[in-house]
Structure 1
């Protein structure tokens, strides 16, 4: 694990990740596709391991009953996905595309494998979950 930095497209929001993981995953759900214009590539980072500058430029939206998404108010760059339920899931999915250097990261997991944009396939093998499997494993019971 290492320290990595990143920023939004315009530089109004910067962040530093300490004890940064060496892997990331992709989410192909409809919300992530609408939010980013494609699938979302994110790495799981404890909230306590991320520090932001330019926080006044961060906008958030409670995008579902259990999560929020954040982006830069000035340029619209996706910054993170954050599960708000259940309490205690205190980690961000930081946008890999916002990192200053993603060298050496390993593509390790894929969510909503059955919801990929038609024609999009990822090389290699990794852990994957379908929509039903994601909801069974992660969604709060009230939404299932």
Structure 2
């Protein structure tokens, strides 16, 4: 049962990393290259869509890591799982304090109501997202290392 939990947790976190990595290095460059207002509308739609799913994914990943750490407390690699959990806590805190406020504004913007500094706000979100992706990649790496 512990092995199934370890694999499931690693897959869930790995998929989250993959989605966030794709947003950073694939989706955002595509949206930014679209003509006129299409990119901004795409960012707003993506903010609504992913903003509805990602909180559950982040919290779920954190909870799965915590369950793994408790279930394997006296097993090899538990310290790595605890460290991964700490990084996932950091990613949730970063999300709530830095990224979500920008996303909540962005997802309501249209070409008619967006603020003058909308591009600067999206660039700020992107900078925070780079750091968050690095944090969750580190957490995923620790989980994989604990698994093997």
Pick 1 or 2: higher relative contact order, CA cutoff 8 A, min separation 6. Answer: 2
Give the TM-score band, short-chain normalised: under 0.3
Q: TM-score, normalised by structure 2?
A: 0.22
Q: Which has the higher strand share?
A: 1
Q: Which has the higher helix share?
A: 2
Q: TM-score, normalised by structure 1?
A: 0.23
